Every structure is written in C-alpha cells, then in structure tokens.
Amino acid sequence: MMIFDNSKLRIKDLLWTIAVVGIVIISTFGLLILSGKSMLVTDDAFRQYLPIFKDFRTMVWSFIQHPFRVGTWSWNLGTGQDWFTAYSYYIVGDPFAYLILFFSTAHIAMGYQLIIGLKLIAAGVSFSFMVSKFGFKGGTLVVGSISYVFATFGFYAAINHSPFLTALIYLPILIVGVERIFFDGNYKLILITIPLLILNSFYWGIVLALVALIVFVVQFFIERNKITAEGINAIGFWLKSILLISLAVGIAAVFLVPVYITLHNSPRAGRGLLNTPALYGLSYYLRLLTIPVGVTGTGTPLMAYLQGFSSGAVTLGFAWLLTNIKKYKVVSVLLLLSTVALMFPCFAVVFSLGNMPTNRWMFVLFVLPILGFMSLMTATEQEKQTQKRRMAFVLLVFVILAMPSFYLQGISLSTVINITVAFIGYVVIFALAEPHAKILRVSALVVISMILSLNIGIFSSKNSTVNVSFINRNSLTKRLDLPIDVAKVLSNKHDVHTIYDKQTSYDFFGFGILNDFLSPAHSIGTYVSTAMPSMIKFGMDNKIAGTLASYPIRHLDDRYLLAMSLGANYSIGSDTSGVSKFPGSKRLSHDGQYSLFSNPFSKREAWYAHNNQVYSLDRFKKATPAEKEIMLIHGVASNNNVKDSNEEGNLGVVKNVSLKNVNTKNLKVLRDKVIVRNYKANSVVRIPVSDDNVGVGTQQLLLEYKNLKVKPISKFMQWKETAEIQNGSLSKFDKIQSFENVLLSDDTPWKMSFTVPGYGKTAIAQNSVWAGANFVEQTEGVMNAGISTRNNKIQYIDVTFDHSGDFAFNFSVEKTNLSAANKQLKKISSTNNTAELVNKTHSSVDVKLSGENGIVITNIPFSSGWQVKNKNSGAKLIEVNDGFLGLKVTKDTKNVHLKYSTPGLKAGFIISLVSLIVLVTMLKFVFVKRGN
C-alpha cells in the first residue's frame, strides 16, 4: 500500500494510542454518563444487544455449572430457536463478550458499556499495529488511530451496534496479513486471522474476507512484475494462496456450515438482490459528492456514515492521495474500486450478504484518506511544495461538487463550523509551523476537533450527525425487568411468555412495541435477521393479522398473532388497552399503572389437534385471515400429506361484512372492488358497509385488501401540492428545499390507514425499496381494526392514503365473535386428550401424552434438527400449520423424547478439525519457508 517494511509497533506508540483513545472516550462518553445518560440508544443497542448479553451470560454460566447439559436450542428466543446460529451473528465467538460473566445481572449494562470501551481501544491498537508496519510512528500513528476509531462508523457501532466494532479490530490485521504474503511469503498472520474473525462474527468475517481478497488481487497485479522477477511462478503462487486460505476458512466451518444451512433454507435469503434497483436515487448521489469534504456519508436511503469527526484531516487525505496517484498505486486503485462500488446498490447488497443495500463496508473506504493524511503529515517540504497547486485545485473541486448538496440538504451549521475551523487549522499549521512542531500541533488539533465534534453529535439534538436518543442511566436496568407487581406474580412461574400492549411499551420502555427479540420478561418474538427459516416461511405464506398488529410485519412470522394465539400466556397493559378486552381475560395484578392479564387464547406448548382433525395445507393457506386465526386458536392442524376436510375451520364464529355499492366521480365501490380517483393525500375516503351480523359478545374486526394498484401524481404536482399546503408561507430557500425533497423522494414507501367507528384505527405500510430483503411490494395485506365489546353495528370505514393520485384495491371485512370463540375453545380444551412439554433442556424435550390416535401440535418452530430418539414410542415427526413441529401419535404413545442438534454442526466440526490438521501439516512439511 504505502511502503510496507514490517516494522514493529513500539511500546511507546502502543501506550500513547491506548492513552489518547482512552482520553477521547472519557471526554465524550464519560461526559455523557456523568450527565445521567448511558451510551445506549433506544434502537438496536437496547432492543437486541443488551438483552442478548443478559441471556448469553445466563447461558454460559449454566454451561459452566452443568457442562454435560450443553445444547443449542433456546426456549427463551421467541417460541423456541437455535441460539447457536442466532448468536453466531453476534457474540458466540467474541472473546470480549465473555467479560460479561464478571458482572452481576444488575450490572449487565455497566459491563456492556465497558466492553464497548475496550473494543474501541482494541480497534485503535489494531490500526496502530497496521500503520507501524508502513513505517508510521509517534504522533502521526496516534492521529491515524483515533481518526480511524472515531470516524462515524466507529461511533455509530459503539452506541447502537457494538458487535460491528469487531470489523474495526480485524480489518487492519487482515491488511497486514495480506502485505506479509507479498513481503516475505509469510501466510501465518492471515491464516490465523481469517478463522478467528469468522468465528467472532460470521457476517463480518465473510464481508472482510471479501475486502481482503480484493486487496490481495489488487496487490498481486501491481506487484506481479516484481513477483515474476524473483522467480516465483504466478500460477503456483495463486494455487498455494487459494489452498491455504481455503483451509483457513475451513477451520471456521463449525460456524459457517450451520449458518449456511439456515440462510439457504430461509425464504429471505438473497431477497435483497432481487429487490434492489439498478441505481440509487438522485439524492444519494448528491450526498455522495460531500464525502471528500467530510460532511456527510451515504445518507438516505442508506445508513449515514459521516466523516465529520475527522473532517479536515479526511479532506486533506483525499486530496493528497488524488495528487499522488502514481506514488500510491495500490491505495489509488482501491479508492477507485470503492468509488465504483458506492455508485451501484448491488455492491452494497453483496457486502450485506444479500440482505439490503446498506454500505456498512464503507468504513473500509475511510482507511484510505486517513492513510493519505498520515502520509501528508510525514511528507517532506519539497514533496508538499511540488504538489501544492494540485492540492489546491483538488480541494476547490471538492468544494464546488459539494455545494449543491450543502444548499439543498441543509447541512447543520455546527457541523460546517467544526469542519471549517479544523480544516483551516490544518492548513495554517502545515503552512506556518516549524517542521519539528507540525506533527505535534496537528495531533493536538485532531484530538481537540474529534472531542468537540463527538460532543456536538452527542449533546445536540438538532445536529445532523447523530439522530438518536440515549437512554437514561438510572432507568436502564429497570428497562430490562418487569413492572414490580407484575414481576411478583410471575417470579415463581415457569414457561412465562408475555406480550406488551403498544402504549404500555411506550410508557414503560420509552419507545414502541418491544416484542421483537429477547425483550424483557421473556417477551415473544425474534429478531428479523436471525429468525428460524420456518417462521419466515410462515409469515410469507400466510396473511394473518393478530390482535395487536397488521400483516406483514417485516415479512416474518406475524409474531403478535403467534404470541397471542400460540405462545404468550400473559399480556401487560393498562386497564383501557386492547389486551384487557379479550373475553375470558383475567387481571392478575395491578400497580396503579400497569396490569398483568392472562391470555385466554394462548395454547399450551403442546396439544392434540381438535377432534384429531387435520386439514390439507392447501386448505389452511386458502382460508381467510380471520378463519386462519380461529383455526390456530382452536388448535386444528394442517399438513401437506392429507386430503381436504369438509369440517368448518372457523366453527361458525367468523362473519363477512359486505360493502355497499357507490358510484361517484372520485369513488367507485362495486361488490369488493374500491376505486379512488383524483385523491388528495391524507384526505378521507368513506366506504359505506352493510353489517347485518351484529352478534353477541366481544367482536374483533379484520380488514383485508388485495390487488392494490397505486398511481401517484407527478413530482411537479407533488411539489405544487406541498407549497399549497404551506399557504404560501415558504421562504425562497424552503421552496427550493421542498422541491428537492419531492424531486429526490422515494415513491415506494407508503402508508394506508383505516378507521372504524366503535372499533379503532389501524394502518399498513410498504417499506422503501431500499429495505432490500425486507421489501415486498404490498399489493395485499391484512389489518386488525380492533375489538368492540358493545356489539357495534358498522356503518362505514374511513380510509386515508399518504400519496395523492389514483388507487384501487379489492376489499373485504371480517368480523370474529371472540366470545363465541372463547366458549368453543373451552369445550375443545375439556377433552381427555392431553399433551405437555416437560424436562426441557438446551438439547431435548419430552412430550408427555395421554390420548388417542391423532396429531399433536406444538408451538415449536419446525426444524430438521429435531429427531424422535425413542423409536419405540410409535411417534412420527411432521410439519404442521406451515411451519410448526407436530407429532403423529397412537393411543399407546405416552412419552416422546425429542432431541435437537443444530443442522450442520457436526459436519462443520469435522470439516474444521480436518482443515486444521491438513493446514498445520502442509505448513510444517510442504510449504516450509526458505528465506524471504
């Protein structure tokens, strides 16, 4: 890259790096903590990672205390999930994660934040190790390290995605490993680093392995003449490299094989590539122009990685590289390749393993200008004078290119001031300071600028750099627990799964529904990126709206429906919330604000199919959403190996509400078809209905639309409409910015809302196309309009859409009598056939049975990892209800012992072991190093 001389990292430089990174941490995050806040934000840091650390600590201590009960199934993740494949995405192989064992449950948050600090320091040390190999030392080395660590990716990872800090630690080591191959033919570092990185995080392992491969290829083609001159056979060199690195990757097969099987079986795998457009929107490319001047990164629709924290240094580094392209050939080629990759969404999707176009890999790009700035700091006066005019020209081009984006997108004043002051400071120092004082003064300015801009981002709510909300330190521990009175009731109960009412989750946690991963109190659900493939398939195959939500929720299992009808035996909410209205629900505790309710519709973890009735899978899939919900609640089973049944799936508790015909200029309703013309965004369209099915008792209303077609008005008309809404109050600048917002906006996301008097409001939305694997064109969907206990007769349904234009869809309304469903459920539950899950471990469970021949259903997600171990039980494993584990049993079946092993884990372990043995053997007896 620059000039690799394999110098050693001096102890003095190591200590200075640790000290300065520590000073920046204390001066920023330390002040944040002293202000009463924590380093965690109300996003993934709290929704995913902190609960994961809490559960991981419990799991590891359990293994230490009972080492012979080891297994890879968790009963806490959703209704059950393989923790090995889920946590391999996060922390299983992360040595820093195991430090959480030294903190009590009450101090998990403290331990989590300490681990973040140690990872930031480790990243700084790693970068110092790398640049020392290129001859950098002293203040220059320290400047590069803190610029690398606290560029926005590092800051973003620290406050929201702590496992991403793994990438910052390993990237410099990988680069050194590649350089060592070309320097003296030594493969040891790269062969050790690759498996450790993959074991640490399979996601970042694969991504950074791709980066290392690109660096390797670029280096080879630039150094190929030198390699040939030294008498090295190019083909032999490639074969040797491919063989050794493949064996290194093979060592990590114990993680890679199970993860590959999970991803391969997931319907979500690769959907990002299918959904991603060929080009980004114009707004993206405007933002991209500001990267060299260190103001903003990729921006919407991608994650924003700002360079403002090392702003002026990055700008000068970019300019220095561009004026010295011939001198820094490898860096220049990598900079060109990075620029090309940023231009097209497909590269972003590939580097997110087919998920979505998020340029998380972009922090790799930041390494290049940082190296450029370090080279500028150590350049001779003659080199600087020679390139002075070119530098000035390049910087002028940077500013000219960035100006349109500055103007149109309203960069915050504090960011601009910070960058400008820092930039001027660097220029003045380089121009006026004595040679021996330049490095020291530049180093001081970088540190001061870094601390200042970080604190602006942390403490300024209006700053464009960071748009997050830090959690109060005192409430952090409380948010990991239940409300006090609720905890008392549940403290001695086993198999507790809860679901929170939406408003309660806002009140208690400070943000919306938290049923999306390992949330407090064993809340049902699972995280989108690591859900069981069977649950993803269930959500994609079946349109179901649960009692608290709309379908689809990120196109996974409808976790709320599954929670309410299958898994969550308790619900938490206020006395006026929806969870209190279920017929048969009992309030078990009340502390003045929150109440704990029993869920009458929850199933036991295992039950006999109603009347031993099994539907064909096709019959189940074709059922209406309300019918399907009742079928699940009533405990029927469906399987793809049986023929259709004539039995009524909804047992007569679901009724249709018909639409009244309308034919006006702007609205046409004919049977189930709704056509709206010349619609103005957010205005109300009233659809009259004919409701003759009042019924007695609690009613639930489900709304379903199909074949939605949307034709939005033109961009110009959107801008004109926006100006009209403002009643001419927009300033000239606001009008321009308004036009830019409309012109560059993405039309794919939308929201459609429904209001039903006597029931409630509900809405459904389509993600932006930039959601990648999470994007599905929402031509159909189902919503729950709420519950009524007053037998309200519906007269009309109000619809609003957030886009002006024309739209049309097929519309159907279903009313479910929950009171009747509850009564029938009691009759069904009174059968003498009983099933129960007992003796749960992380690798097995027993199904205790008492009944006749039939089908036993469980709420365990189906996986090929489950096997019946006592073959004489007469039980056969089957998949039921399009994604759940079932058993076909006889009247003589009394106990079924189910054993779970992660699919591919044994094969992966064997491959890892063989790869390790072969690699060590080859290094020792075949590829023996003979000189440099």
| Least confident stretch, 197-201, 443-447, 472-476, 495-499 | 495-499
Q: State yes or no: pLDDT of 661 exceeds 90.
A: yes
With vertex at residue 854, the alpha carbon angle to CA 848 and CA 855, rounded to the nearest 5 degrees, is 70
What b/e readout covers 395-412, taking b as 16+ CB neighbours within 10 angstroms? Answer: beebeebbeebbebbebb
CB 653 within 8 A of CB 821: yes
Q: pLDDT, tens digit, for every residue of 570-628?
A: 777 777 666 677 777 788 887 766 778 887 777 778 888 876 677 888 888 888 888 88
Q: What is the DSSP letter of 714?
A: P
pLDDT at position 781 is 80
Q: State yes or no: pLDDT of 273 exceeds 70.
A: no
Q: State yes or no: pLDDT of 734 exceeds 80.
A: no
Phi/psi region, residue 213 (left: phi>0; alpha: psi -120 to 50; beta: rest), is: alpha
Beta bridge partners of 551: 782
**CA dihedral of residues 755, 759, 760, 763 (deg, nearest 10):** -60
Secondary-structure breakdown of the chain: helix, strand, coil percentages, each rounded to the nearest 5: 50, 15, 30
The larger pLDDT score, comparing residue 868 to residue 266, is at 868
Q: Which two tokens stand for residue 864?
A: 């090929």
CB 505 within 8 A of CB 523: no
Assign 917 a pLDDT band (cuts: 50, 70, 90): very high
| Least confident stretch, 276-280, 457-461, 902-906 | 457-461
| Least confident stretch, 477-481, 542-546, 733-737 | 733-737
Q: Tell me phi and psi for residue 876, to 5 degrees.
A: -130, 130
Q: State yes or no: pLDDT of 7 exceeds 80.
A: yes
Phi/psi region, residue 303 (left: phi>0; alpha: psi -120 to 50; beta: rest), is: beta
The rounded distance, in Å, linking the Cα atoms of 503 and 484 is: 18
| DSSP H or E segment with residue 866 | strand 866-868
Closest CA to 250 of 327, 317, 195, 173: 195
Q: pLDDT, tens digit, for every residue of 714-726?
A: 777 776 766 655 5
Q: What is the mean pLDDT of residues 214-229?
A: 86
| Least confident stretch, 251-255, 451-455, 535-539, 661-665 | 535-539
Q: Which two tokens stand for residue 519?
A: 């949330």
Q: What is the mean pLDDT of residues 223-245?
A: 85
Q: What is the mean pLDDT of residues 413-431?
A: 69
The larger pLDDT score, comparing residue 421 to residue 761, is at 761
CB 207 within 8 A of CB 201: no
Q: pLDDT, tens digit, for every residue of 8-19?
A: 999 999 999 999
Can you give the pTM of this predicted structure? 0.85
The rounded distance, in Å, linking the Cα atoms of 307 and 156 is: 12
The burial class, CB within 10 Å (0-12 / 13-18 / 19+), for 206 is middle
The rounded distance, in Å, linking the Cα atoms of 570 and 563 is: 9
The rounded distance, in Å, linking the Cα atoms of 753 and 419 is: 43
Q: State yes or no: pLDDT of 377 exceeds 80.
A: yes
The larger pLDDT score, comparing residue 259 to residue 540, is at 259
With vertex at residue 187, the alpha carbon angle to CA 181 and CA 190, rounded to the nearest 5 degrees, is 95
Which residue type, as a one-letter code, is found at position 345? Answer: P
The larger pLDDT score, comparing residue 873 to residue 505, is at 873
pLDDT at position 480 is 64
CB 861 within 8 A of CB 885: yes
CA pseudo-torsion sign 224, 230, 235, 240? negative
Q: What is the mean pLDDT of residues 555-566?
A: 45
Residue 856's alpha-carbon distances to 485, 601, 623, 837, 852, in angstroms, are: 36, 18, 21, 11, 10
CA pseudo-torsion sign 302, 306, 307, 310? negative
pLDDT at position 251 is 94
Long-range contacts of 233-239 (CB under 8 A, 24+ apart): none
Per the listing, tokens 């290829």 go with 217
CB 443 within 8 A of CB 393: no
CB 422 within 8 A of CB 311: yes
The rounded distance, in Å, linking the Cα atoms of 319 and 373 is: 9
The rounded distance, in Å, linking the Cα atoms of 134 and 131 is: 5
Assign 454 a pLDDT band (cuts: 50, 70, 90): confident
Q: What is the mean pLDDT of residues 544-566?
A: 46
pLDDT at position 931 is 42
Q: What is the DSSP letter of 551?
A: B
Closest CA to 812 of 787, 776, 781: 781
Assign 798 a pLDDT band (cuts: 50, 70, 90): very high
Assign 792 a pLDDT band (cuts: 50, 70, 90): confident
Q: pLDDT, tens digit, for every residue of 95-105?
A: 999 999 999 88
Q: State yes or no: pLDDT of 207 exceeds 80.
A: yes
Q: What is the mean pLDDT of residues 489-501?
A: 63
| Least confident stretch, 126-130, 242-246, 441-445, 483-487 | 483-487
The larger pLDDT score, comparing residue 383 to residue 117, is at 117
Please provide the average confidence, as pLDDT, over all residues in the chain: 79
The burial class, CB within 10 Å (0-12 / 13-18 / 19+), for 827 is exposed
Per the listing, tokens 């012992």 go with 897
The rounded distance, in Å, linking the Cα atoms of 72 and 63 is: 11
The rounded distance, in Å, linking the Cα atoms of 123 and 189 is: 17
Q: pLDDT, tens digit, for every residue of 293-345?
A: 665 543 332 333 344 445 667 778 888 888 888 888 888 889 888 888 888 88
